[in-house]
Amino acid sequence: MATTLDVLASGFAFPEGPRWHDGALWLSDMHGPEVLRLDAAGEATPIVTVPELPSGLGWLPDGRLLIVSMHDRKVLRLDPSGLVEHADLSGVATWHCNDMVVDRAGRAYVSNFGSGAPPGEPITPGKIARVGPDGTVSIAAGDMGFANGMAITPDGTTFIVAETRSEPPRLTAFDIGADGSLTNRRSLIDFTDAAPDGICLDAEGAIWVASPFTNEALRVLDGRVVTRVSTGDQGCYAVAIGGPDGHTLFICTSGSWIPEEAKALRNGRVCTLTVDVPAA
């Protein structure tokens, strides 16, 4: 595996929620605030502006794009006529919404911050919302220590979420029921030197983890960190695997997680790394 990152594109306020879809990398420039599509050369095509800040992305089985709108705690849907409300999460999310993963049935799982407590202050445990394809909202899981990045295994049986500010920070797994329910909660790894953010899976069942406060992307396999990739002078906030052959790890970095600083700096980058094990 290569160890040097290449910069695919730069100049973002805060790139988040990367997803490889339909031959391109889609992402939210959270403080942009817009959803973008990057081609193989790193050229960005604006898709839609989300005034209340975009985060997690996913697609319904019919191909329509779902977008987490953070501050108004909604999931929006991009129809041919434009953005419409798909679901209102204010009854589940107690603070800003965050990442999202959508399963093959069109069920969307959405994390939220729990509260606005900054690092170093006690957090309010949050809940993960489950949104049916028809927009029906329910609680999938509670007592989350700042639920962040999420992923579903290719067989659709296991749900994985990063708890960035649990004690200790960890990756947590659940079994997924036929109805989309989450049961059998368990820790996959407790971190001693990292706070996991965005995640993605590869074909060996390993989990790539963004570690913003150590400026690294970590590969976790069988409950331990097996690879560390430095992102240099910027924090690593989100990861995705894709590319034409599935062997490209996309890494979203930024010089600051603080909104005002991120918007002023606009030095966020999307970097790439060729990896031996392809996307799940």
C-alpha to C-alpha distance for 27 and 147, rounded to whole angstroms: 19
Q: How many CA atoms lie within 13 A of 65 on its CB side?
A: 25
Q: Would you give the distance in Å from CA 76 to the centre of its chain?
A: 16
Which pLDDT does position 1 carry in this prediction? 67
Beta bridge mates, 37: 26, 45
Amino acid (one-letter) located at 99: D
Find the farthest-apart pair of alpha carbons in the chain and give their distance in angstroms, rounded: 48
- CA 179 – CA 133 distance, rounded (Å): 12
Query: Cα(3)–Cα(5) distance, rounded to whole angstroms?
Result: 7
What is the residue type of 16? Answer: E
Q: Which helix (H) or strand (E) holds 101?
A: strand 97-102
d(CA 239, CA 250) in angstroms, rounded, equals 6
206, 225 Cβ separation under 8 angstroms: no
**pLDDT string in tens for the chain (280-residue length):** 666 899 999 999 999 999 999 999 999 999 999 999 999 999 999 999 999 999 999 999 999 999 999 999 999 999 999 999 999 999 999 999 999 999 999 999 999 999 888 877 888 999 999 999 999 999 999 999 999 999 999 999 999 999 999 999 999 999 999 999 999 999 999 999 999 999 999 999 999 999 999 999 999 999 999 999 999 999 999 999 999 999 999 999 999 888 899 899 999 999 999 999 999 9
Choose among 60, 18, 70: nearest CA to 42: 18
Judge contact between 33 and 49, C-beta under 8 A. yes
**Structural domains in the chain, sorted by start:** 6-274 (2.120.10.30)
Distance of CA 39 to the CA centre of its chain: 20
Where are any strands of DSSP class E within 136-247? 137-144, 147-152, 158-163, 170-176, 182-190, 199-201, 207-211, 216-221, 224-230, 235-242
CA angle centred on 69, ends 151 and 141, rounded to 5°? 45
- The encoded tokens of residue 2 equal 């290569």
Contact residues for 198 (Cβ-Cβ < 8 A; gap 6+)? 16, 17, 18, 99, 148, 149, 162, 209, 210, 237, 238, 239, 240, 252
* Phi-psi region at 97: left, alpha or beta (left = phi > 0; alpha = psi -120 to 50): beta
d(CA 224, CA 206): 10
Q: Which tokens is 207 given? A: 């989990």
Q: Which amino acid is at 41?
A: A
Please report the pLDDT score of residue 164 as a whole number: 96
pLDDT of residue 4: 81
Cα–Cα separations (whole angstroms), residue 30 to 26, 33, 118, 154: 12, 5, 18, 27
